[in-house]
Structure 1
Amino acid sequence: MPANVGEMFYFGEQPWHRLGNKLDQPATMEEALKAGGLDWEVGTVPLATAEEPSSPVPMRVAIVRKDTKPGSQGRVLGVTHTGFRPLQNREGIEIFDSIFGKGERVYHTGGYLGDGEVIWVLARLPKEFNVAKGDTVKTYVLFTNSHNGSIAIDFRLTTVRVVCQNTLSLALKKDTKTVFKHAHQGSYTDLKDEVEIFFKGTLKAADDLREKFKMMLERRFDDDRVKGYVETLFPIPGKPAGAERNSSVMGAYLARVKKVESARKTTLFLARNGKGTELETVKGSLWAALNGVLEYVDHYEPHKHDPFAYALFGSGAMLKRKAFNLAVTNLQP
């Protein structure tokens, strides 16, 4: 996963990562391609060893940006197997727009990471709901694609809690489709039909999410339960064998423990006092505990890499899904 935002645009409040070109209104598809720096194509190039004479590299090709000259930095986006079939940015976003956008101004953010290894657009769905009075959740569909094989072609339901801008992309359960993935192989002829079938299920999935969130709001969660919830999500790592005899190993271990303890402390504070806990019925609920984790990942977690990629695509997104699933488990009697 590339470690930085290359180009992007956004509409609305400035994102937590404070990057991108601000738009005064949501974008159309063509505007999204332009504002997000996405109107370029990729191609495949055979590989050979850098020696004289060179030897061809079997079963591998380089994925390159066609708008970048050979020899230039940022031209090669990745190396994949010869069966990898790129999905062009415009091709993928046209499919996305034909289903979710239909030519309207629905795009709130979009762009690419690194030199273009991963691209994305986020479209607003015509559905929002209140979990509590003054606590609105808006629904979106996120399209991501990679040109280096790091992630599959991906469409997923995403929610944004307005009061704190916490994001959550997840899969609810096997019979509620909130994520659609397609490998970079074979023909994309049927991709539109497959995504359209997925879209029909996303609106039902949004209703299912609303019910889950409301149940979390109603579930009282005392300090001991919040503490157990957070500690489960941030476990203390086991001490490596031989750490007592090796000061460098022990030092690295203690640094990891310190980081986990710091994450626990911050998340506990946010679960009890984070954005939105001042709203009626939110404080002291399982809903507040979940959002404490989401707020930590989106706004507080110190990242070695780009916070946007971390929160929406990387290990931060995985932690948020784990937090949601654990919250659902805590809804059981």
Structure 2
Amino acid sequence: MSHELDVVNGKATMAYVGQTPWHGLGQSLQPGSDIETWRKESGLDYSVLHADAMYRLTDAEGNVTYQEFPGRKTLYRSDTMVPLSVVSKDYKVVQPAEVLDFFAQLSDIGGFQLETVGALKGGLKIWGLARIDDGAPIIAEDIVRPYVLLATSYDGSLATTARLTSIRVVCNNTLSRAYSSDSKSVVKVRHDAHFRPDDVRRQLGIFSGQWEKFQIEMRRLAEAKIDNDFADTFLATLLSKRAAKRPDGSYPDVRKSRGYKEVMALFHGGARGHEMVKGTAWGLVNAVTEWVDHSRGRTPETRLDAAWFGAGNDLKTSAFTNMLDVIA
């Protein structure tokens, strides 16, 4: 098992309800399980504790002493006692229990269903995903469902982040939409500030028109017909912006890359649900998202981390927003 996935006593720190999620990881729970069951079965029934950061000194005679590292503390897990990171003493920890309680409160509000929670990178990142409602068809029977994702980290690599995201049912493709002019679609709480769940829920604007706006944009893409030349140019441009330069300063031909070939193969008929969206801008965007979620990366664990929190998420979001711009 990859080091990306957190495993304790042979059990993956992840749980889900319903069908096996797109990442294929974790323990299956019964629908309606209470939050304590989620806490135990997901492996998130621990706390993140802290201790003074120390360093060891050895003098010329071999005598060992320990000194405190001023202004720093070590975070570690209460269940395994394994250290997570060394951070500033001002670093505010959001406990696993707080993440789960955030979703428990959403369930109490009504309509929200927790579907998956877990940890990655030995517990350096934890997250939860809850479905807001049953979704809506974008075209024909192509259903997309809205979700709220909450994640935090214990090494400063990710602010505590809550955002609206979506899953396309036919293929489990995930896609987030961030509006630069409207902070209600993404809320970030830095680790030098306190996490206040009620404030985050209010800022998310869960009951605002964000989901409706997202649906309108997806339908615009589903109605926009594109040809092979358009798809080639769009994808080559998208991938070229992320290609690493050669030693001579030039860029490689992305059309020869595995990613380009696999995305184009999906667009030309290999994608799940292809018949509903073939020859459309929505079909090409979903070819990108399917590749990121289901093929890109070495393992399901690294793929999940990148698709939600890293370069994969950025690539999917860019594909969506850039496509909206070019078909406008």
TM-score of the superposed pair, with normalisation by structure 1: 0.86
Aligned counterpart, 2:260: 264
Q: Select which of 94, 97, 113 maps to 2:104.
A: 97
Q: Which amino acid aligns with 1:4?
A: L
Aligned counterpart, 2:77: 65
What is the rounded CA distance, in whole Å, between the counterparts of 2:224 and 2:208 in structure 1? 25
The CA RMSD over aligned residues, in Å, is: 2.4
Aligned counterpart, 1:230: 235
Q: Select which of 154, 160, 166 maps to 1:153.
A: 160
Contact kept in structure 2, 1:101 and 1:123, CA below 8 Å: no
Structure 1 residues 287 and 107, CA, compared in 2 at 3 Å: closer, same or farther?
same
Aligned counterpart, 1:119: 126
What secondary structure is seen at the aligned counterpart in 2 of 1:19? coil
Q: Deviation of residue 14 (structure 1)? A: 2.0
Q: Which amino acid aligns with 2:281?
A: L
Structure 1 residues 103 and 62, CA, compared in 2 at 3 Å: closer, same or farther?
farther
1:260-313 CA-partner distances (Å, limit 9, x unpaired)? 61110110111221111212xx21100001000000001111326622212122
Contact kept in structure 1, 2:111 and 2:133, CA below 8 Å: no
Aligned counterpart, 2:275: 278
1:10-64 CA-partner distances (Å, limit 9, x unpaired)? 2223234332111232543222212211121111111111232222212211111
Aligned counterpart, 1:249: none
Q: Which amino acid aligns with 1:143?
A: L
Structure 1 residues 14 and 5, CA, compared in 2 at 3 Å: closer, same or farther?
farther
Aligned counterpart, 1:288: 283
Q: Deviation of residue 97 (structure 1)? A: 2.6
Aligned counterpart, 1:8: 14
Contact kept in structure 2, 1:43 and 1:64, CA below 8 Å: yes
Is the counterpart of residue 169 in structure 1 residue 170 in structure 2? no
What secondary structure is seen at the aligned counterpart in 1 of 2:275? coil
Q: Deviation of residue 320 (structure 1)? A: 0.8
Aligned counterpart, 1:204: 209
Aligned counterpart, 1:79: 86
What is the rounded CA distance, in whole Å, between the counterparts of 1:267 and 1:294 in structure 2? 9
Q: Deviation of residue 230 (structure 1)? A: 0.8
Q: Deviation of residue 199 (structure 1)? A: 3.7
Q: Select which of 283, 302, 306 maps to 2:302.
A: 306
1:194-224 CA-partner distances (Å, limit 9, x unpaired)? 2132243464111011000000011111111
What is the rounded CA distance, in whole Å, between the counterparts of 1:327 and 1:24 in structure 2? 39
Unaligned runs of 5+ in 1: 70-74, 244-252
What secondary structure is seen at the aligned counterpart in 2 of 1:217? helix
Q: Deviation of residue 238 (structure 1)? A: 3.2
What is the rounded CA distance, in whole Å, between the counterparts of 1:89 and 1:260 in structure 2? 43
Runs of 4+ in 1 over 4 A off after TM superposition: 100-105, 256-260
What is the rounded CA distance, in whole Å, between the counterparts of 1:134 and 1:9 in structure 2? 28
Which range moves more in the overlay, 15-24 or 36-45? Answer: 15-24
What is the rounded CA distance, in whole Å, between the counterparts of 2:254 and 2:6 in structure 1? 29
What is the rounded CA distance, in whole Å, between the counterparts of 1:238 and 1:204 in structure 2? 41
Q: Deviation of residue 8 (structure 1)? A: 0.4
Structure 1 residues 203 and 13, CA, compared in 2 at 3 Å: closer, same or farther?
farther
The percent of aligned pairs where both chains have the same amino acid is 30
Contact kept in structure 1, 2:6 and 2:123, CA below 8 Å: no
Structure 1 residues 172 and 103, CA, compared in 2 at 3 Å: closer, same or farther?
closer
Contact kept in structure 2, 1:176 and 1:205, CA below 8 Å: no
Is the counterpart of residue 22 in structure 1 residue 28 in structure 2? yes
Q: Deviation of residue 139 (structure 1)? A: 0.9
Aligned counterpart, 1:246: none
Contact kept in structure 1, 2:235 and 2:260, CA below 8 Å: yes
Aligned counterpart, 2:67: 55
What secondary structure is seen at the aligned counterpart in 1 of 2:40? helix
Aligned residues: 311
What secondary structure is seen at the aligned counterpart in 2 of 1:55? strand
Q: Which amino acid aligns with 1:165?
A: N
Aligned counterpart, 1:135: 142
Unaligned runs of 5+ in 2: 8-12, 58-63
Contact kept in structure 2, 1:27 and 1:105, CA below 8 Å: no
Q: Which amino acid aligns with 2:24?
A: R
Structure 1 residues 100 and 178, CA, compared in 2 at 3 Å: closer, same or farther?
farther
